[in-house]
Amino acid sequence: MAGSIAGVEAALKLYRESSPAEQEGNLSTFRQALMMAVSATNRHIIQAETNALRASMDASPAPVAPVAAAAAAPPRETAPPMMGFPTTYEVAKPDKEESNVPAAPVKAETEKKIDVSSASPSDLEGSLGLAVLDVDADKVTSLLEAGAEMDEEMTNAAFWAVVNAVDRAEALDKPLSGDIPVMLHHIFDADLRHLLTREQQRTNVTCMRPETLGANRVAMNSIFDDAAHKDIPLEEGRRCEDGHCCDECSRNIFPTFASQAEVDFGTFPELMSLTFNELEKVAAGTILQFIRLIERVRRTIAHEYGLPLKTILPLQSYSRKYVAGTTQKGGGGGEGDFVILHTDEATHTGYHYSSVLYLSTQGEDFEGGNFIFNDPADDDGEKDKVDDDYELTGMALEEAIRTTGRKLTPFHPSRGACVIFSSGWENMHEVEKITSGVRYAVPAFFTTSPVPEAAYDQMVQGKPKSNEDIADDWLHLLLAHREEQPHESLGRVKELLMKWHYMCAPLSEH
């Protein structure tokens, strides 16, 4: 904490000594240092409260268990398994009379009130900043509705305030407040608004799908011959099996989809290997940041393709590690140094939109490893041409087969960049071999196929009906840090993905 305070003092000194022209830029540095100091102070307070609570509990006599009452109580009913997997949890909140956990501090009644109808923009922004740090969701909502806006710095301050509140609740063994999801919803809204002001490179493409007739033989060949995938006969249109996709397709590059701080391994070390199935030892801050980034992708897809947000759900997302000189083993998250030419929708019929967020930079962290869109060549004459420089033996022949008659569009990965595209055959792609280093990325796949209502009915806790219900879902599906058996984590993740929209959007948008 002393280091954070020193950082504030240094930033303030820099601001005071700078010229008027430089002060605006240095003010941002000062505000960032101040937010870091607030975060460090909150962590210090959490630790002090936790130590005091443990000391008081150690000094208290052990409570007598109500054995007779427990023996007489009827067994708790368990819902039947959902689609072959058990449901994940039943919320059991402690009785207030029996809890040893101190109540949350009550806000002082003398707190200054702001008349939002007549307040100036500076008053609104100042009040919003205080409400954000206090995780006062009601006040934040009122101020935003009155015209205040969270800039990127304030949005990040709100995120860390939420992280601190989640850590504090876990340290004190308390349920999450209903303020937590409301604050997260405001953060997600602000994130998309900020993203839409940044650079976007859009390429519109014609949607493609396998030909209805005559494709079976070639499609079967592509199963056994990776090189044959590019030769599948295609026709215009989207397959979008059981979904509600947009009729238009595209590929989009966001060079600064996430800031360097948002994907920093020093702050979020578990981002290097995160999967939803194994969260027991992952810090709450990393889990929340991962969800924040995937939700940003989901909202970007809805905006780009004009789809209702509630119709888009993630089917899979994980951190992927590519290591030079290795061969992939197992599923999509396994290590390897390249990815063969493929179409995401051919890999899984439910994949309707795809994204890759990059966590490392070509030329700094690894060499090679371009992401490549692989299209038919524009000129028909090129389709039968083989480069005379190729010696048609060994790897040269393999490369000739891969590239002949094709137009390759490479993207050079950089930390924080993201590629978002429709998942059909119009966007066949591959990853070139990594020649050195380690390449980290987060692929994510989204569906527009609706979840059957019966699936929610089979959950112990179905669709949330209040912000407290949403907070319970955040806790038990993501932030509980409990040990699980494989079948338990599988059921939890399944429920998480089906409930994603209900957890990441306000009740008014359910």
Model confidence at 173: pLDDT above 70:
yes
The 10s digit of each residue's pLDDT in 184-196 is 999 999 999 999 9
Instruction: Specify the 3-state DSSP secondary structure of 408.
Output: strand
Nearest to 178 by CA among 195, 196, 162: 162
Which pLDDT score, from 0 to 100, does residue 56 have?
52
Mean pLDDT of the chain: 81
Confidence of residue 73 (pLDDT cuts 50, 70, 90): very low
Q: How would you classify residue 405: left for phi > 0, otherwise alpha for psi between -120 and 50, otherwise beta?
A: left
Which pLDDT score, from 0 to 100, does residue 327 have?
77
Instruction: Specify the 3-state DSSP secondary structure of 85.
Output: strand
Residue 223 vs residue 255, higher pLDDT:
255
How many residues appear in the chain?
A: 510
Task: Say if residues 288 and 183 touch (Cβ distance below 8 Å).
Answer: no
Which pLDDT score, from 0 to 100, does residue 215 have?
46
Confidence of residue 98 (pLDDT cuts 50, 70, 90): very low
The 10s digit of each residue's pLDDT in 8-34 is 666 666 767 777 767 666 665 665 666
Spell out a b/e string for 312-331, using b for 16 or more CB atoms within 10 Å of the CB, else e. Answer: bbbbbbbbbbbbbeeebeee
The 10s digit of each residue's pLDDT in 425-478 is 999 999 999 999 999 999 999 999 999 999 999 998 999 999 999 999 999 999
Rounded-to-integer distance, Cα 130 and Cα 154, Å: 10
Residue 18 to residues 11, 12, 28, 328, Cα–Cα distance (Å)? 11, 10, 13, 53
Task: Say if residues 473 and 464 touch (Cβ distance below 8 Å).
Answer: yes
| Number of CB atoms found within 10 A of residue 352's CB | 32
Residue 421 to residues 300, 330, 447, 450, Cα–Cα distance (Å)? 11, 25, 13, 20
Model confidence at 205: pLDDT above 70:
yes
Rounded-to-integer distance, Cα 272 and Cα 263, Å: 10
| Number of CB atoms found within 10 A of residue 350's CB | 20
Task: Say if residues 294 and 192 touch (Cβ distance below 8 Å).
Answer: no
Residue type, 496: L
313 phi, psi to nearest 5 deg? -135, 145
**Tokens at residue 166, please?**
């989640």
Task: Say if residues 307 and 448 touch (Cβ distance below 8 Å).
Answer: yes
Nearest to 181 by CA among 482, 468, 493: 468
Which pLDDT score, from 0 to 100, does residue 116 have?
44
Residue 87 vs residue 373, higher pLDDT:
373
Which pLDDT score, from 0 to 100, does residue 19 have?
76
Rg (C-alpha) for the chain, rounded Å, is 26
Which pLDDT score, from 0 to 100, does residue 403 have?
79
Confidence of residue 112 (pLDDT cuts 50, 70, 90): very low
Which ranges of 174-311 would DSSP assign to H, the alpha helix? 179-195, 216-224, 284-305
Q: Mean of the pLDDT values across residues 193-215?
A: 90
Model confidence at 113: pLDDT above 50:
no
